[in-house]
Chain A
Amino acid sequence: MVILRMEGIRKAFGGVPALDGVHFELHPNEIHGLLGGNGAGKTTLMNILFGLYRMDSGDVFLHSKKISISAPRDAIAQRINMVHQHFLQVDSFTVLENILMGAPLKESLTMRFGEEEKKIAAIQKRFGLEIDLGATLGDLPMGTRQKVEILKALYRGVEILILDEPTTNLTPQEVDALFLSLREMVKEGLSIVFITHKLREVLSVCDRITVLRNGRNVTTLRKGEAPEEEFVRGMVGEEMNLEKSILFSGIRESRAAPLPGGEALLKLEGAGLRTADGLQRLKELSFEVRPGEIFGVAGVAGNGQTELAELVLGLQPPTAGRVLVSGRDVRERTTAQLLGEDVAYIPEDRLHDGFLPKANIAQNLILGAQRSRPYSNGWLIDWKTVFASAQEMIAQYHIKTAGPGEVGGNLSGGNIQRVMIARAFSREAPLLVAHNPTRGLDIPSMDFVYSKFLERKAAGRASLLISEDLDELLLLCDRIGVIYKGEILGILPREKFEKYAIGQLMSGVRREA
């Protein structure tokens, strides 16, 4: 029995094929993993099903009946809904308005939402999606916005739910809660398409997987029928050498290198941050990152990580203490100067803080360094050099694009991340501030980023790695500081790394001295 069948789907963007005759089948009551590297065409395929993209050719059958979907409203009418990889939300509206927009309302002339709010509250309770419905969306952290996106889809009542990388911004606990709810929904008759790059999620939640590569089907596997290795191989692709990879072999696991010496490239001396309305965002942070060190900051999202990054970048001046970059107070320089000289930055929110969707790839690749050599002589940008080095970076960092002149926003989510990675690492800056740098990357790319971190280390550069992925931190870092409610509760050296202890600190439990 098949609930949905997509057949021979083709789609090209400006002559470049993104999907080339793809088949896809969804069974009732299953969670179907849709996998493949960055730019493989996963989002494109699901956007076609949801009516956001129009296919060039192919057929879609729902309950064995051919259907034509020419706009999202057709998909919604067929009870298909989608959680988008890059959230589609109105920043200036409240959470409630974002959820109810476009849905039928009981009182459509008063904007009194009593009835609807009750329904939302019930869904929230059931699936553990606690969000303040009255909050303005633009003020919310990424994790909460992700939950809004999920809530939006659930509220509409669906038969087929498409989840495009829904867990990238959730904490592990939230992911577990989501999976429990997914299981329950499936029992109640839903079918789910689940796009992810995380192995653990695939192995724990998917009943079947379909793997795409370069817009074509590679394989479809059913759990239990195929050995786990085949699942893994399907996810990482044929080329990746698992033995040599940092991710799978855990090369660094055993090596507890002596802490490098030298003058700290980043030093925080009792740095604090208090907002204008008196909220203490960061409290008495003191630590240093030395040349050749990878210093990790672990913590549940929203505990001050973003503020910490902004402090180091000079985006917000500390309200107490000092922050020194290469021995100089950050307040001495503007953020532009810092970025041009000593610091490279990978921000958390790629679409808002790190990327210009309307600018081309080359422009995005030099963003922040546009005033420094070799791209500029201080007055004019030397576009020839920029394009040449963009070409190089595209090749080196495997950015899937038509070329340096392509509009940045056309890239797939993971490829936008690769642009930011390429920009930050190619700067060879003494200090790198990276906030969730591997978010949305496929496994081989993640591994590649890890090797880049180790390269920096070998070259004696310092990295501040702020991440919500504990495994990533344990793998790479020399020391890990755990942040909780704006405070560093403890700093552990590599030989003391222990998942459980760090997890406790992350939830605010201080260890006995």
Chain B
Amino acid sequence: MDAILVSIVAYAKLILLSMVPFVLAGQGTMLGGRTGVFNVAQEGIMLVGASVGFLVSYLSGSIVLGMAAAMAAGALFGLALAYFTTHLKMDQFVIGLALFFIGVGLSTLLPKLIIGVTLTPPLVPTLKDLPVPLLSKIPLLGEIFFNQNVLVYVSILVSVALWWYLYRTKLGLELRSVGENPQAADSLGINVTRARYWSAIIGGMMIGLAGAYLPMVYTGTFTEGMVKGRGWLAIALTFFGGWKPLTILYGAAFFATIEVLAYRVQVVGTGIPYQFLLMLPYLATIVVMILTFGKTRAPAFLGQNYDRERRAL
């Protein structure tokens, strides 16, 4: 009895822990999309975030500095996306793919340039659990929810804050209007360009941080391609989360559950081929997409660029 309970708690805790990259990347994608900027470079930005975050923590010895650097790198990618699409009005999808490839390349290039090839992998200390005073003492729940690393708390708080921002504030209303009908927003004096820049930049920051989470919590080091498709999954997550912060949060828990299960099954060794387990999150994505089909909607102006003087929007 006790043993089962303990392992359930351990699982639940692990799911919450593995949820973070999905939450952060999903919310980052959502934020940009709410002004019509559709980021598809998550995988690349997360890799850069992981690489830069790791390097800076390694060199400076400060994990906080590492996180800040990963966010700055993500912000730069967001800025680039906003500039090319909002300013130069280039195709969002093409730019996004280009940024993805640049991200992949940079993420492996930077460690080689800065640290070089080493025999044993360089390590950074991983993020420690930060028990919340009092709350972490609650039986079971305390262990699951209040005895986690700081980014678990941050990602949940950010999700709630984003919900409040989007649906309960004037600025949020205006932000959403830009992604629905920028011409209407513009005609009411809302600064469309500024909204798109900020949402893309902050979205990029969150995606960069999502990437940095991987070396800082899971491995302690950077390895090539360590994001393993989580960036692509974040896009799917945002879609079936209906571009809503809270639904994205729940959806992230769902992905995390599958990830944890697939990992467990692999460790236990049931004879299910390893490749199949790797496919699992994507299969689940398709199933969920079918189930939620028609029930969710994306911002009407998603993926498009706004030009005031063009009538054909």
Contacts and interface: CB of A to CB of B under 8 A. Distances in A.
Given A110-B168, A410-B312, A92 B187 contact: no
Interface string B168-198: 1111011011001101111111110000000
B313 interface: yes
A89 interface: yes
Nearest to A72: B187
A88 B184 contact: yes
Nearest to B190: A102
Interface string B183-226: 11111111100000000000000000000000000000000000
Contacts of B310: 409-410
Interface string A71-113: 1110011000010100011111100011011110100111100
A91 B183 CA distance: 12
A77 B171 CA distance: 19
A260 B275 CA distance: 75
Interface of A: 13, 50, 52-54, 71-73, 76-77, 82, 84, 88-93, 97-98, 100-103, 105, 108-111, 152, 357-358, 407-411
Interface string B158-171: 00000000011111
B308 interface: yes
Contact of B313 (A13, A77, A409): A409
B98 to A, nearest CB: 24
Contact of A102 (B167, B181, B189): B189
Contact of A97 (B173, B183, B189, B308): B173
B166 to A, nearest CB: 10
Given A100-B173, A409-B311, 11 more contacts: A52-B308, A72-B186, A89-B181, A90-B180, A93-B176, A101-B173, A102-B174, A103-B188, A357-B311, A357-B312, A410-B311
B2 interface: no
Contacts of A110: 168-169
Interface in B130-179: 167-171, 173-174, 176-177
A411 B176 CA distance: 28
B301 to A, nearest CB: 10
A92 B308 contact: no
Contacts of B297: 92
Interface string B301-313: 0000000111111
Most chain B beta carbons < 10 A, residue from A72, A77, A102, A410: A102
Contact of B309 (A53, A82, A91, A102): A53
B188 A108 contact: no
Contacts of B309: 13, 52-54
B273 to A, nearest CB: 44
Contact of B183 (A54, A71, A88, A407): A88
Contacts of B300: 91-92
A89 B184 contact: yes
Contacts, number: 94
A134 B160 CA distance: 25
Given A101-B173, A108-B170, A109-B168, A407 B188 contact: no
| Nearest 9 CB-CB pairings of A with B | A409-B312, A102-B188, A73-B189, A108-B170, A88-B184, A357-B312, A409-B311, A90-B180, A88-B187
B180 A92 contact: yes
Contacts of B176: 93
Contacts of A103: 188
B312 A407 contact: yes
A52 B187 contact: yes
Nearest to A109: B169
Given A92-B180, A108-B170, A50 B187 contact: yes
Nearest to B299: A92
A100 B177 CA distance: 11
8 contacts: A52-B308, A53-B308, A88-B187, A91-B180, A91-B300, A101-B173, A110-B168, A410-B312
B189 A72 contact: yes
A358 B304 CA distance: 12
Main secondary structure on A side of the interface with B: loop
A84 to B, nearest CB: 7
Contact of B187 (A84, A93, A109, A407): A84
Contacts of A98: 184
Contacts of B169: 108-111
Nearest to A410: B311
Given A108-B170, A357-B311, A358-B312, A91 B181 contact: yes
A108 B300 CA distance: 24
Nearest to B172: A111
Interface string B4-30: 000000000000000000000000000
A491 to B, nearest CB: 41
B168 A71 contact: no
A110 B176 CA distance: 16
A93 B177 CA distance: 8
Contacts of A101: 173-174, 177, 184-185, 188, 190
B187 A82 contact: yes
Contacts of A92: 180, 297, 300
Nearest to A74: B189
Contacts of A408: 312
B168 to A, nearest CB: 5
A101 to B, nearest CB: 5
Contacts of B181: 88-91
A52 B308 CA distance: 6
A92 B169 CA distance: 17
Contacts of B168: 109-111
Contacts of A411: 311
A89 B308 CA distance: 15
A102 B174 CA distance: 6
Nearest to B308: A52
Nearest to A99: B188
A105 B170 contact: yes
A77 B189 CA distance: 9
Nearest to A416: B311
A25 B141 CA distance: 72
B97 to A, nearest CB: 22
A97 B311 CA distance: 24
B82 to A, nearest CB: 18
A102 B185 contact: yes
A71 B186 contact: yes
B184 A111 contact: no
Most chain A beta carbons < 10 A, residue from B167, B180, B313: B180
Contacts of A76: 188-189
Most chain B beta carbons < 10 A, residue from A73, A90, A93, A357: A90
B171 A108 contact: yes
Nearest to A112: B168
Contacts of A82: 187
A407 B312 CA distance: 7
B51 to A, nearest CB: 38
A198 to B, nearest CB: 23
A111 B167 contact: yes
A147 B183 CA distance: 19
Nearest to A104: B170
A102 B191 CA distance: 9
Nearest to A92: B180
A162 B183 CA distance: 17
